């Protein structure tokens, strides 16, 4: 089953260490959410452990992985994240995350730009259709 939800709360954060993009079904008490985190810098040990890739998490820390994102697409009001089988298994989803996003949100353009940059930094196919 595709992991699908309406992301009524979206955010972009730069904590100095990493860029964090979040999608949640509620701002205060989310039951469904996706966090994407990309470190700005990493060392050789991070690379050896695969921690130089986008970290993706859904719902809680036990459902998380580094890397494994095959593609990201934004078409109209949907953001789709296609995962490889290892990452899908770690997140306990079938392989696709489908988030319905308010494209008129005040920070939507900045979030989609950051998402594209994050994907492109790892050679992940990114498609944006209007």
Quick: pLDDT tens for 4-28.
999 999 999 999 889 999 999 999 9
d(C-alpha 116, C-alpha 125), whole Å: 9
pLDDT digits (tens, 9 = 90+) for 46-77: 888 878 899 999 998 999 999 999 999 998 89
For tokens 């992985």, the residue is 65
Q: Answer whether 69's CB lies under 8 Å from 54's CB.
A: yes
| Sheet containing strand 96-101, strands side by side | 3-7, 96-101, 78-83, 69-75, 125-129
Q: Name the pTM for this structure.
A: 0.92
CA distance 54 to 7: 20
């Amino acid at each position: 089953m595709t992991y699908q939800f309406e992301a009524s709360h979206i955010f972009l954060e730069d904590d100095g260490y990493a860029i964090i993009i979040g999608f949640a079904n509620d701002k205060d008490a989310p039951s469904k959410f996706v966090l994407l985190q990309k470190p700005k810098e990493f060392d050789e040990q991070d690379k050896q452990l695969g921690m130089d890739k986008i970290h993706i998490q859904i719902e809680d820390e036990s459902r998380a992985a580094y890397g494994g994102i095959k593609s990201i697409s934004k078409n109209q009001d949907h953001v789709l994240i296609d995962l490889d089988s290892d990452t899908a298994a770690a997140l306990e989803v079938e392989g696709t995350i489908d988030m319905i996003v308010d494209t008129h949100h005040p920070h939507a353009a900045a979030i989609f730009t950051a998402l594209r940059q994050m994907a492109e930094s790892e050679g992940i196919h990114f498609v944006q259709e209007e």
